[in-house]
Amino acid sequence: MKLSELARYAFSGAICCAFTHAILTPVDVVKTRVQLEPVKYNRGLTGGMRQIVANDGAAALLTGFGPTVTGYFLQGAFKFGGYEFFKRKTNDWLGPEKAAANRNAVYLTSSAAAEFLGDILLCPFEAARIRLVSQPTFAPNMLSALGKMARYEGTAGLYSGFTPIVLKQVPYTMATFVVYEKALEAAYSWVNKETASNTTLSGVNLGCGLIAGMAAAIVSQPADTVLSKINKEKGRPGEGTGRRIFNIISQLGLRGSYAGIGPRLVMVGGMTAVQFGIYGHIQRVWVSCYKCTWNLVTDF
């Protein structure tokens, strides 16, 4: 894979992830509050927004905007860029026939590897976001929150949620890409990719992304709830991450693990649809610009 291709995939992924997570910050704030305080915030998405605005002001719905944009810009670059990189390398290693016969395994392993790398960069920013949402007076902004957590809790504090974030994001991304790829295969059995208009192709991207996002939300919801709980506050002295996760899961149970699933289905389903819509559009624009530039150079 050429560096220019990798840059195209990474840039497209960074933009689509940062943009979609940014515009859904209010939904994410409600979802996090529901997960952390389900008894208090038990009125659904719209009711939760009204509660937050009434108690903390409208600006509270944008709490964590900075770490959300920064974290998912970096994560998106590795997620989409890494997925295409690992998929291409795996296909080259297996050969065309074997890769086609085992394409689901290729999708799963490539997405898992890419997401794991992205999570290393995402984790500190997600920890800061959750701390700012759960404790609005903790710090005035992202950099202050990161600095305060690093100073008082060390690297371990910034990465205390790494295990649950991996347990959430890796299955989520694996489900997203494999369902998206399968939905895309089905869609292109009806739509001719080469002759379809940009509007049709964008519609295909959006529809397949919506299906993939909702499936991924259901798969990753329990780990998302655990992540919110573990980042809400510092753990007890001597309590390791594994023990904290075990204790949280024991307290939550199956029903508690799916607290906030309604807002998250809306958020993740819509977000993933828009992500793939933007991602596909940027790819087409990039390729079109490259062809135009190349034609100008060769004509000159």
Give 204-240 pLDDT, tens digit per residue. 999 999 999 999 988 888 877 777 777 666 666 666 7
Q: Which residue has 């984790």 as its token pair? A: 123
Spatial distance between the Cα atoms of 211 and 139, rounded to a whole number of angstroms = 37
Whether 200 has a pLDDT exceeding 80, the answer reads yes
Percentage of residues in the chain with pLDDT exceeding 70? 93
Give how many domains the chain has, as a whole number: 1
Predicted confidence at residue 9, as pLDDT, reads: 94
Whether 299 has a pLDDT exceeding 60, the answer reads no
Instruction: Establish how many alpha carbons lie within 13 A of residue 258's alpha carbon, considering only the half-sphere containing its beta carbon.
Output: 8
Q: What is the pTM of this model?
A: 0.80
Predicted confidence at residue 231, as pLDDT, reads: 64
Token pair belonging to 41: 């915030």
Give 235-252 pLDDT, tens digit per residue. 666 667 677 878 888 888
Q: What's the mean per-residue pLDDT of the chain? A: 88
Q: Which residue has 């999708």 as its token pair? A: 107
Whether 278 has a pLDDT exceeding 70, the answer reads yes
- Domain at 239, CATH number: 1.50.40.10
Predicted confidence at residue 289, as pLDDT, reads: 77
Q: What is the DSSP string of 152-202?
A: HHHHHHHTTTHHHHHHHHHHHHHHHHHHHHHHHHHHHTTS-TTT--HHHHH
Domain assignment of residue 195, given as a range: 3-299
